[in-house]
């Protein structure tokens, strides 16, 4: 009886070992984990930026001088960007970017029948350096910095809201009487540094989308009146710096 039990145990163990060996031979070998190669190629596209300005100091100046203040602090900018991977450093790319935007306000005084218009413009342009981290086959995170120059300007207009005649306009500027129709431009130039983080998704191998966040810092200032005369005494807190949200649509080479 003991010999029969031992024989059955040996047969069972041999059968189980053989079945396990057959299963291991038939089981497919899992594919190796996909690794991301270095990025290459490049792209170019249309960008949109929403900059959240420190609008408080600007509105204080407008209100004190009978101009209408701005509602909200967002300045929408449109522009473009192009870039290419340099290949010497994997996943590092360089390029250029620029954008500009405008806001306006209008006030009308019943006391002196005077209309006052303000146009606030800001823009920037320069070079970009980004390092790209592949996360998924279609999804990347890019961190980088923009270095360049930018500026902002205030175009001020005061008008007496009457008909304009050729001769009258010349007489106002050539005579000694008060001038009621005036346009003045106050413009400042700055050095711009903008660190940013972008999330990029390849819809197709030639079409990509982007959304990101950054901070537009402006340093130094050089202000002019009508692009000819130096303007002194401009408050330091009057600039187009601030946090920004950006988006973009790009055409190029997107490998995944």
What's the average model confidence in pLDDT over 171-180? 75
pLDDT at 169: 78
pLDDT at 253: 87
Would the pLDDT of 250 be above 80? yes
What's the rounded Cα separation, in Å, for the pair 68 and 62? Answer: 6
pLDDT at 21: 53
What's the rounded Cα separation, in Å, for the pair 34 and 31? Answer: 8
Mean of per-residue pLDDT scores for the chain: 86
pLDDT at 196: 97
Contact 128, 83 (CB under 8 A): yes
pLDDT at 3: 47
What's the rounded Cα separation, in Å, for the pair 196 and 173? Answer: 48
This prediction's pTM? 0.78
What's the average model confidence in pLDDT over 63-67? 93
Q: How far is CA 78 from CA 71, 98, 130, in A?
A: 20, 8, 20
| CB neighbourhood size of 172 (10 A) | 14
């Amino acid at each position: 009886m003991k010999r029969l039990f031992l024989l059955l145990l040996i047969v069972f163990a041999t059968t189980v070992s053989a079945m396990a060996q057959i299963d291991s031979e038939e089981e497919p070998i899992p594919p190796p984990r996909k690794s991301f190669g270095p990025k290459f190629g490049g792209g170019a596209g249309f960008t949109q930026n929403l900059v959240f300005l420190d609008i408080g100091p600007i509105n204080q100046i407008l209100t004190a001088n009978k101009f209408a203040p701005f509602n909200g602090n967002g300045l929408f900018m449109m522009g473009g960007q192009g870039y290419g991977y340099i290949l010497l450093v994997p996943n590092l790319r360089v390029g250029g970017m620029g954008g500009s935007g405008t806001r306006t306000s209008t006030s009308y005084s019943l006391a002196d029948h005077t209309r006052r218009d303000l146009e606030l413009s800001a823009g920037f342009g320069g070079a970009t350096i980004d390092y790209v981290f592949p996360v998924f086959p279609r999804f990347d995170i890019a961190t980088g910095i923009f270095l360049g120059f930018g500026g902002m300007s205030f175009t001020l207009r005061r008008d007496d809201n009457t008909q304009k005649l050729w001769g009258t306009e010349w007489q106002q500027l050539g005579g000694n009487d008060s001038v009621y129709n005036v346009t003045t431009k106050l413009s400042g130039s700055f050095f711009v540094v903008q660190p940013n983080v972008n999330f990029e998704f390849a819809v197709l191998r030639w079409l990509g989308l982007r959304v990101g966040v950054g901070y537009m810092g402006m340093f130094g200032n050089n202000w002019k009146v009508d692009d000819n005369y130096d303007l002194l005494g401009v408050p330091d807190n009057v600039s187009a710096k601030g946090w920004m949200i950006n988006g973009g649509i790009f055409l190029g080479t997107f490998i995944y």
